[in-house]
Structure 1
Amino acid sequence: MKDARVRLLCITAMFAALILVCTMFVKLPVPATTEYIHIGDGVLYLAAALLPLPYAVAAGAVGAALADVLASYAIWAPFTFVIKAVMAAIVNRLCSPDCGRGRMALAGLIAGIVNVALYFASSAILYGIAGAAAGIPFNIIQSALAAVIFIVLLPVVRKALSGILPARK
């Protein structure tokens, strides 16, 4: 039991670190804005499908919020922490480790809609409605990219981690 918990904590920390790296360093800057499109959300979806709920939420929220802090977007960190926690919870509840592509697409779609809506609300608080509206297309692109990464990679990652991850409860 103790070994399984330690293993799960280590895997959670690795997912958080991978989310951070894929958010900070595997990105495409959006011209004329401070925004960028990254693949961290795709990794967040993978963690959410593979880990038990509290671990999935921790990996997603901590990894993404730390990326904001370390990339000089600290003002976004509290918003990101909450938004990514909600996204991880949605994907976790809708998609088990062995869910099919249709269920993956549904989980990605709903989490993506929530992502766009909550970042719009957060941007409206920080920049007003016009500034928030300008970010919508880029958040849609990022959410779609995350869903594609999730659908393509979950079967591969699931197989690679099959003997390592404990059963999700």
Structure 2
Amino acid sequence: MKIVREKIALLGVLTALSVVLGLVVHIPLPASKGYFNLLEIGIYTTALLLGGPAGLFVGGISGLLLDLILGYPQWMPFSLLIHGLQGYLAGRIGYGQSQKRQVIGLCVASIVMVIGYFYANDLLYQWGAAIASLPGNISQTLCGTIGAIVMMRYLKKAKITEKSILKRKEK
């Protein structure tokens, strides 16, 4: 039971850190009525470190919270769904795998994010905004992919794994 509480607390901290990454760098993109941010670094690192369900939680909740905080409430349901699926796929494919497999997972997740926001833009603001969203979303997922790969390299070097984070202390 203790490990469950620790994992819930860890997911809360990782969600908060992901939101902070999005707040530190957020560049409005008027053509698509959205913004560029670094949220993917947090989502992808969580997914690769802790797996698909953790990526789902951190991706969905952090995306939704970031939209709320930055004043983009129209994007909240889309971010919950798209970033959640993005985190799940990155973790489902890449968790505990080789770096090559992790990169494949990140690429699949990135494609899902770009396509998801393309259709969300089309639904909210029409075809022109959907087209205008592509460069920003592709750049955002590329930065997230590179950032997560760098983070995972440092975490591996420091021998930080899911088990080391959640290790029970015996008395």
SS of 2:165's equivalent in the other structure is coil
Equivalent position of 1:10 in the other structure: 9
Q: What is the count of residue pairs matched by the alignment? A: 164
Residue 100 in structure 1 maps to residue 94 in structure 2: no
Among candidates 133, 137, 140, match of residue 139 of structure 1 = 137
Equivalent position of 2:64 in the other structure: 65
Equivalent position of 1:150 in the other structure: 148
Residue 117 in structure 1 maps to residue 118 in structure 2: no
Contact 1:9–1:55 (8 Å) recurs in 2: no
Q: CA deviation at 1:140?
A: 0.6
Contact 2:51–2:92 (8 Å) recurs in 1: no
**Long gaps (5+) in structure 2:** none
Paired AA for residue 88 in structure 2: A
Identity %: 25
Equivalent position of 2:165 in the other structure: 164
- What is the CA deviation profile of residues 23-78 of structure 1, one whole-angstrom value per residue up to 9, with x for unaligned ones? 12223444766433211111100111122433331111111110101110011000
Q: Following the alignment from structure 2 to structure 1, what is the Cα–Cα distance between the partners of residues 119 and 53?
A: 25
Contact 2:52–2:90 (8 Å) recurs in 1: no
Equivalent position of 1:75 in the other structure: 74
Equivalent position of 2:86 in the other structure: 87
Contact 1:116–1:140 (8 Å) recurs in 2: yes
Equivalent position of 1:40 in the other structure: 39
Q: CA deviation at 1:156?
A: 1.8
TM-score when normalising by structure 2:
0.87
SS of 1:7's equivalent in the other structure is helix
Bigger drift between 79-88 and 46-55 goes to 46-55
